[in-house]
């Protein structure tokens, strides 16, 4: 009867090269998350500011300057610095004022690569 021998050097997990690869992928994902998360958090704060403007009765919806000043104050308190006056469009139609904010964010990623995103949010002030 032939005896079956077990291999001596059987692999029981990842090799060091495998662990380095797993670590590199995890690090790349972490760097990406840390670069992109603040953009979406700022967009969330912008949405909250626009929603607060909709319910604020002290704002005159006919005055573009007053709407911009109110939005600018809210964004300043929330430390949102990526939105400028050029990103805000206001339109008055049928007694409703539509405030639309569209902007882009770009940031260097690795070497000569960059990440970018485009956001657009709007709110209707009905008064």
pLDDT number for residue 7: 67
Yes or no: say if 50 and 71 are a contact pair by the CB < 8 Å rule.
Answer: yes
Global confidence as pTM: 0.81
- Domain boundaries, given as residue ranges, for the chain: 38-126
Distance, CA of 96 to CA of 101 (rounded, Å): 16
- Predicted confidence at residue 67, as pLDDT, reads 95
φ/ψ region of 95 (left if φ > 0, alpha if ψ in -120 to 50, else beta) reads: left
Q: Is there a contact between 85 and 68 (Cβ–Cβ < 8 Å)?
A: yes
The pLDDT profile of the chain, 127 residues, written as one tens digit per residue, is 677 666 666 667 878 899 999 999 999 999 999 999 999 999 999 999 999 999 999 999 899 999 999 999 999 999 999 899 999 999 999 989 999 999 999 999 988 999 999 999 999 998 7
């Amino acid at each position: 009867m032939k005896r079956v021998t077990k291999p001596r050097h059987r692999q029981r997990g990842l090799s060091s090269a495998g662990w380095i690869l797993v670590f590199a992928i995890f690090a790349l994902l972490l760097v990406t998350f840390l670069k992109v998360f603040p953009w979406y958090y700022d967009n969330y704060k912008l949405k909250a500011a626009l929603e607060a403007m909709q319910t604020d009765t002290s704002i005159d919806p006919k005055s573009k300057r007053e709407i911009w000043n109110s939005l600018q104050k809210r964004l300043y308190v929330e430390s949102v610095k990526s939105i400028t006056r050029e990103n805000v469009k206001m339109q008055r139609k049928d007694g409703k004022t539509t405030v639309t904010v569209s902007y882009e964010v770009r940031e260097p990623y690795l070497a000569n690569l960059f990440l970018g995103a485009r956001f657009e949010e709007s709110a209707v002030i009905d008064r």
